[in-house]
């Protein structure tokens, strides 16, 4: 991984046009991402594409516009439609274990301004950093502009839209794979909404094929956390209504009995972030959260990961919804470079 920022891919127009522009600008990286998926999973491209095709009806039911963007991506990057579709269902087509992450949303009495902040450390194998991009979309059909961190060819991941609605994600474990909606298209459609109620309705309507957690914030100050499994979604309410901190284990009454603590450092990361947030309560700013995301002092490990469970904090994000600014870090919390982007 080289450079201090991730490549910024800016697209606009119809769904097909946005996909085509994405493919033309990032075609080499998209192909590199597909090669990495094969290497990571140990499965052939043909097998992975065949598996990805099974998810097409579910993605189309969620968003026909997204399927058109996939078609544009395929044409722009000179790939088959199935290869472009695989980018939207990487984990689901491979049925591999998910990754880590430590996410937060803070508002009201927690922050110095009283306004919301949300974000996370993104914990992955370091190779993912080589195919990561920032994707800025400006649809011409009335859907909001959005900026997201994602991988070349993958049309949905964590980010924020022009309404100040932002979401971030944690992997959750202990869930058998089954046919359902992949998480990445769902994340993209979340960034097309202007309020959290609509997001919750979409989550309830479209069952997923695996488990995950989503942390939300909105420009009006509202925050939320939802644990998602194929059998439904459960809202997590933290100790304070002005704070949500979530790592990679179940916290809701509905799903906590399923937890086996297969990711050994998840509880320690969450507890460490709780301590650091409490120490700064009422004075939390973007700069303080940058420092928290670089922490190494936890037991057995801090929030910034350097290989624990095979994962590294390859990137980080902090959303300021009221200002329409998304701060993105390339690299680990202790050494990476932060850049501010206007949505």
| Coil/strand/helix, residue 86 | helix
At residue 2, the pLDDT reads 46
Return the pLDDT at 1.
39
Calpha distance 293→306 (Å, rounded): 13
Domain of 97 in residue numbering reads as: 8-342
Query: DSSP alpha helices (H): ranges in 223-311?
Result: 266-279, 286-292
Distance (Å, whole) CA 221 – CA 230: 29
Asked if the structure places residue 62 within a domain, the reply is yes
Residue 3 lies in a domain: no
Q: Is residue 285 part of a domain?
A: yes
pTM for this model (two decimals): 0.95
Per-residue pLDDT of the chain (343 residues; tens, 9 = 90+): 347 999 999 999 999 999 999 999 999 999 999 999 999 888 999 999 999 999 999 999 999 999 999 999 999 999 999 999 999 998 776 666 557 899 999 999 999 999 999 999 999 988 899 999 999 999 999 999 999 999 999 999 999 999 999 999 999 999 988 889 999 999 999 999 999 999 999 999 999 999 999 999 998 999 999 999 999 999 999 999 999 999 999 999 999 999 999 888 999 999 999 999 999 999 999 999 999 999 998 777 789 999 888 889 999 999 999 999 999 999 999 999 999 999 9
Q: Output the pLDDT for position 93.
A: 67
pLDDT of residue 130: 94
Token pair, residue 298, equals 């936890």
Q: Quick check: is 109 in a domain?
A: yes
Residue 2 lies in a domain: no
State the total domains in the chain: 1
Report the C-alpha gap between 173 and 260 in whole angstroms.
8
For residue 219, being part of any structural domain is answered with yes
**CATH number of the domain encompassing residue 187:** 3.60.60.10
Residue 1 lies in a domain: no
d(CA 257, CA 333): 32
Residue 13 included in any domain = yes
H helix intervals, 42-172: 45-53, 56-62, 64-77, 81-86, 90-94
Helix 15-41 vs helix 64-77: crossing angle, to nearest 10: 70
């Amino acid at each position: 991984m080289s450079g201090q920022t991730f490549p910024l891919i800016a697209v606009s127009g119809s769904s097909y046009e946005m996909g085509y522009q994405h493919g033309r600008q990032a075609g080499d990286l998209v192909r590199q991402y597909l090669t990495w998926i094969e290497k990571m999973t140990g499965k052939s491209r043909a097998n992975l594409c065949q598996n990805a095709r099974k998810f097409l009806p579910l993605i189309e039911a969620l968003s026909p516009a997204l399927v058109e963007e996939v078609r544009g991506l395929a044409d722009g990057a000179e790939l088959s439609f199935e290869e472009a579709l695989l980018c939207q269902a990487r984990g689901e087509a491979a049925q591999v274990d998910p990754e880590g992450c430590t996410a937060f949303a803070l508002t009201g009495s927690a922050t110095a301004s009283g306004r919301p902040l949300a974000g996370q450390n993104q914990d992955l194998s370091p190779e993912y950093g080589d195919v990561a991009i920032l994707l800025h979309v400006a649809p011409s059909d009335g859907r909001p502009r959005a900026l997201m961190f994602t991988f070349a060819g993958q049309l949905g991941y964590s980010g924020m839209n022009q309404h100040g609605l932002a979401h971030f994600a944690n992997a959750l474990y202990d869930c058998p794979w089954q046919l359902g909606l992949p998480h990445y298209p769902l994340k993209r459609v979340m960034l097309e909404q202007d309020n959290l109620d609509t997001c919750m309705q979409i989550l309830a309507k479209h069952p997923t094929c695996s488990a995950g957690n989503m942390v939300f914030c909105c420009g009006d100050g509202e925050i939320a956390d939802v644990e998602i499994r194929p059998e439904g979604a459960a809202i997590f309410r933290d100790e304070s209504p002005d704070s949500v901190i979530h790592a990679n284990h179940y916290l809701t009454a509905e799903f906590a009995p399923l937890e086996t603590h297969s990711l050994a450092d998840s509880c320690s990361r969450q507890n460490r972030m709780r301590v650091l947030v409490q120490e700064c309560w009422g004075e939390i700013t973007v700069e303080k959260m940058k420092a928290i995301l670089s922490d190494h002092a936890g037991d057995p490990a801090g929030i910034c990961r350097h290989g624990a469970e095979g994962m590294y904090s390859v990137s980080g994000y902090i959303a300021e919804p009221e200002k329409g600014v998304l701060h993105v870090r390339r690299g680990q919390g202790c050494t990476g470079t932060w850049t501010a982007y206007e949505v």
